[in-house]
Amino acid sequence: MLRYAKSVFNVCSQDIRDVMSAADRAHMISFTGGMPDKRLLPVDEIDAIYCKLGREVKQRGLQYGPTGGYPALVESVRCYLQAKGLPVEHHRLLITTGSMQAIYLIAKIFLDPGDRVILEHPTFMGAIAAFKSFQAALIDVATDEQGMEPEGLARAAAQPPLSKFAYVIPNFHNPWPYSMARKEALLDILHQRKLVLLEDDPYNELYFEEAEQNRITPMIAMNNTGLPICYTGSFSKVLGPGMRVGWLLGPEEIVRHAEAVKQSIDACTPMFTQMRANEFLISPRFETYLAGIRLAYKQRGQTMLAALDRYMPKAVRYNRPTGGFYIWLFLPEGVDAASVLHRAMPRGVEFVVGKSFDPQGVKNDFLRLAFCHTAEENIEPGIRVLAEVIEECYD
């Protein structure tokens, strides 16, 4: 009998593994994982960057590097975030192995078993898994069309024992991006309650219209309350998750602790990919590339919306995304996403059921469709099947 640590039994990452493996099954129309379309990834640009690097730099790329990050990349990410209005001057930056690692590090340095974390519903399943692995108690707050509900946050934040931090994804993961007014209201509540905020923003670059940029200002850039905010971002959704390059920007003390823990986890994020990410980030090609993928994902989103408008029963509600990878469907009363999935899969269509995004793992009257990695021509047939299946479920 193997004597595992108790914490092993709190690990619940099965949902993520299922979603990612489903996304790759060739015979299915998959609306599952939130991964970029491999056909849109900058393979040629990354190849060209690598060929141009000198031998010494390549050798360095195969070495260990500083835990804080490849210095040139640290500097470029600082400039990149500063250009977006983020307060890099008063914060410390850590390069992480994806933003998933940043979330894990914050969980690791704040959570003892039983500690509370406030998070929105729906939320990112990877964060649920990370917080649960530290045996945290998850306090969820509902979201509406402007973001996390302030009354719910105020109630959750007042509940003793006080939560350690709140975790939010204001842009493009959940059905609606947060409004500016809502972000301000949430900042006030968090400040009054002296809660740390973990702001996760991996989709920040993926807005469909330039005008949307005003609305997606990160909360860390709006904060004049003194509230400690840790902000994480990533190149996963734009350059590719295989890069495993993300970052954590936050108060000096918190990030110093995070860096010390990172040292004991992976020593450093691979130098090999940090170098490539750096060269791409500082090249003039970066902006044109971003413009291209924004357009491509916008088109896919529109194709999916047009198919939903055409085929979905009227009783099904859904958001109209202004960026990101997802459309969320809210099912008619009494219809469970698991029964829709069971009928849809034999007909070649799959998606992620709502309860995977519910911190309590229960609510299942909604589901998430990713339009990012499905070939454009498969979107309409997939939605047609889904609409038929949903109709059968409540007939």
Ligand X SMILES: Cc1ncc(COP(=O)(O)O)c(C=O)c1O
Among residues 31, 70, 104, 124, which is the contact residue for ligand X, using CB under 6 A?
Answer: 124
Amino acid letter, 153:
L
Which is closer to ligand X, CB of 34 or CB of 382? 34
Chain length of the chain: 395
Distance CA 144, CA 141 (A): 10
Residue 126 binding ligand X, by CB under 6 A: yes
Instruction: Tell the smallest beta-carbon distance from residue 67 to ligand X (Å).
Output: 17
Residue 64, number of CB atoms within 10 A of its CB: 10
Which is closer to ligand X, CB of 99 or CB of 322? 99
For residue 247, give the nearest of 64, 90, 69, 107 by alpha carbon. 69
Which is closer to ligand X, CB of 68 or CB of 241? 241
Interface positions, 276-295, toward ligand X (CB under 6 A): none
Among residues 99, 204, 303, 322, which is the contact residue for ligand X, using CB under 6 A?
Answer: 99
For residue 81, give the nearest of 235, 226, 291, 279 by alpha carbon. 235
Instruction: Tell the smallest beta-carbon distance from residue 68 to ligand X (Å).
Output: 18
Residue 204 binding ligand X, by CB under 6 A: no
Instruction: Tell the smallest beta-carbon distance from residue 103 to ligand X (Å).
Output: 6
Among residues 36, 61, 152, 202, which is the contact residue for ligand X, using CB under 6 A?
Answer: 202
Using DSSP bridges, classify how beta strands 147-148 and 137-144 pair: parallel, antiparallel or unpaired. Answer: antiparallel
For residue 304, give the nearest of 381, 193, 200 by alpha carbon. 381
Residue 241 binding ligand X, by CB under 6 A: yes
Distance CA 58, CA 69 (A): 16
> How far are the Cα atoms of 7, 127, 139, 168 from residue 162, in angstroms, in the given order?
23, 20, 11, 17
Instruction: Tell the smallest beta-carbon distance from residue 391 to ligand X (Å).
Output: 30
- In sequence order, the β-bridge partners of residue 323 are 207
Instruction: Tell the smallest beta-carbon distance from residue 365 to ligand X (Å).
Output: 21
Site string for ligand X, 169-198 (x = CB under 6 A): x---x-------------------------
C-beta nearest to ligand X: residue? 98
Which is closer to ligand X, CB of 286 or CB of 357? 357
Sheet-wide strand order for 326-330: 317-318, 326-330, 366-370, 352-353
Residues that bind ligand X (CB under 6 A): 34, 98-100, 124, 126, 169, 173, 200, 202, 234, 236, 241, 246
